[in-house]
Amino acid sequence: MPLAKPFKIPESVLVVIHTRQLDVLLIERADAPGYWQSVTGSKDSLAESLVETCVREVAEETGIAVGTAAVPLAALRDCELVNVYEIYPRWRTRYAPGVTHNTEHVFALEVPAGTRVTLAPREHTALQWLPW
């Protein structure tokens, strides 16, 4: 019998990826065509730090490796902005019973112009670099 998938943790990150020239990466969701966003994702465990969540989600969604010579960890900045929002009812089954809100921590990641982006096709279908 397959194991039940654990509930999502209602704490996440939003990572705005940009160049020094302030071109910003937007990616289109596979499950919502026409919906463009920055990198987002929930913590995998309560012990996972927000920085670890950022590094993992950026790698999973864009293929960009944070902590390398090209994109050092120092390029990731905590914007000290927190959004609390209601989880859409259609997604609440992913969370423990009674969970209705998510806390999202905003980060910025500066990458060199021309940084290669490799999307995870199950999550995102297209990308654009747009001026700030």
Which pLDDT score, from 0 to 100, does residue 5 have?
83
**pLDDT of 4 over the 80 cut:** no
Average pLDDT score over residue span 100-126: 96
Which pLDDT score, from 0 to 100, does residue 83 have?
98
Contacts of 13 (CB under 8 A, 6+ apart): 39, 40, 41, 43, 50, 53, 54, 57, 104, 105, 106, 107
Q: Is residue 75 helix, strand or coil? A: helix
**pLDDT of 108 over the 90 cut:** yes
Q: What does the alpha-carbon distance between residue 16 and residue 92 come to, in Å, rounded to a whole number?
A: 25
Which pLDDT score, from 0 to 100, does residue 65 have?
98
**pLDDT of 3 over the 80 cut:** no
Average pLDDT score over residue span 105-117: 98
